[in-house]
Amino acid sequence: MTDSAASLTSLETPAAIIDTVRMQRNIRRMQARMDALGVRFRPHVKTSKCSEVVRAQILAGASGITVSTLKEAAQCFDDGITDILYGVGMVASKLPQALALRRRGCDLKIVTDNVDSARAIAAFGAEHGEAFEVWIEIDTDGHRSGIRPDEPALFDVATVLHEGGARLGGVMTHAGSSYDLDTPEALAAMAEQERAGCALAAERLREAGLPCPVVSVGSTPTALSANSLQAVTEVRAGVYVFFDLVMRNVGVCSTEDVALSVLTTVIGHQAEKGWAIVDAGWMAMSRDRGTQKQKHDFGYGQVCGIDGAVIPGYILSGANQEHGILSREGGMDSDIAKHFPIGTLLRILPNHACATGAQFPTYHALAETGEITEWSRLHGW
């Protein structure tokens, strides 16, 4: 056992382990790519929700951050980050929170894709003497929110904001359907679709005499697959910081890049079924079964030894709240109790790092030296 692995034996299980060597490598890889493509990089902190992780991203060269909740924005602002994009469509009821952050000095940008919210933002801003910076959300792949680049609504929303006294900061899009792809060609095509759609929206606004300084695109798969980011000013991505089995199946990382794992203990067996029972159930792994429809279904996760090395062919094939069922893929292990005795410590790589992280109030960050540090994680809204 390496020194690094040995230090994990002191932890109670289940625990969320961050391999900081892998995490730093993932951060450097993405930042270097963005630097080479000549765009700013604005990581999405919804994956880690952790001050120490975000600090590492900023230190590596990130320009501001993206958040998925205003609570994340408040925490990151308290940590000294001012350039923050709240990436979920604004509604009237959340404007007081956004205003409060701006009044404290936070350079918070907000997002909308509809006239009703645009009107509410402009009216609330006028009432409080605050020119909100608003980015218009563009739909480049039909998977969720946003205005299609060719829709007339783009001008309606922009005009309401511009004439209502808000500041038109730019356009942003997220090609989340890239998660459904798994070939370099398809990913590159989706990256180009994301880029071209968002760039087109910006162009149309500018042609209409409206300001659109920022063109913001991104998802982890497209960010790592784009051949050109012409006309794009910044990229956003989240899950790359830890990666996970879904991203491994998409093809943008290897299993050996996954920086988040759940430390667990073997607590029992059903030997005649080839099962070992571990104390990481779905409460630890989350209910995310994102690899179910992908080319390799990892159940609730890939089993690794305490040193983080994959144990090929063994997955969490089932999960109850606090019980995980470990078994061999494609054929029973008739010697499961011998291979995984009671008390064995294992690390399970998750399907989806954002979902698994959310199950834990703290991460245990494991350094190359074996030193373990507790890093707090934000929970709730």
* Interface with a second copy (CB under 8 A): 12-15, 46, 68-69, 88-94, 97, 113-114, 116-117, 120, 139, 142, 144-145, 176, 265-270, 273, 277, 279, 282-284, 286-289, 320-323, 325, 341-343, 352, 354-355, 358-362, 379-381
Query: Which residue's CB is nearer to a second copy, number 1 or number 91?
Result: 91
Between vectors from CA 290 to CA 285 and to CA 292, what angle results, nearest 5°? 110
CB of 271 to a second copy, least distance (A): 10
CB of 30 to a second copy, least distance (A): 19
Query: Which residue's CB is nearer to a second copy, number 69 or number 233?
Result: 69
Query: Which residue's CB is nearer to a second copy, number 60 or number 247?
Result: 247
Handedness of CA 38, 44, 47, 50 (dihedral sign): positive
CB of 68 to a second copy, least distance (A): 5
Place of tokens 């679709």: 193
| 3-state DSSP of 128-174 | HCCCCEEEEEECCCCCCCCECCCCCHHHHHHHHHHHCCCEEEEEEEC
Query: Which residue's CB is nearer to a second copy, number 88 or number 367?
Result: 88
State phi, psi for 142 to the nearest 5 degrees: 70, 15
CB of 337 to a second copy, least distance (A): 9
CB of 186 to a second copy, least distance (A): 20
* Beta strands, E only, the chain: 15-19, 40-41, 65-67, 83-86, 107-112, 133-138, 167-173, 214-217, 234-235, 260-270, 275-278, 302-305, 310-319, 324-328, 345-349, 362-366, 372-376
Q: Would you state the structure tokens that stand for residue 147, as one six-digit string?
A: 């205005």
CB of 238 to a second copy, least distance (A): 9
Q: Of the candidates 330, 327, 331, 334, which has an alpha carbon nearest to the alpha carbon of residue 278? A: 327
Query: Which residue's CB is nearer to a second copy, number 70 or number 199?
Result: 70
State phi, psi for 138 to the nearest 5 degrees: -110, 140
User: Which amino acid, residue 291?
Assistant: T
Query: Which residue's CB is nearer to a second copy, number 28 or number 273?
Result: 273
Query: Which residue's CB is nearer to a second copy, number 39 or number 157?
Result: 157
Q: At what angle do helices 115-128 and 153-163 cross, to 10 degrees?
A: 10
Q: Of the candidates 217, 215, 236, which has an alpha carbon nearest to the alpha carbon of residue 170? A: 215
Tell me how far apart the alpha carbons of residues 239 and 357 are, in angstroms, rounded to a whole number.
11
Q: How many CB atoms lie within 10 A of CB 13?
A: 17
Q: Is 9 exposed, middle or buried (0-12, 13-18, 19+ CB in 10 A)?
A: exposed
CB of 92 to a second copy, least distance (A): 6
CB of 379 to a second copy, least distance (A): 5
Query: Which residue's CB is nearer to a second copy, number 15 or number 258?
Result: 15
Give the three-class secondary structure for 242. Answer: coil
Query: Which residue's CB is nearer to a second copy, number 109 or number 352?
Result: 352
CB of 89 to a second copy, least distance (A): 4
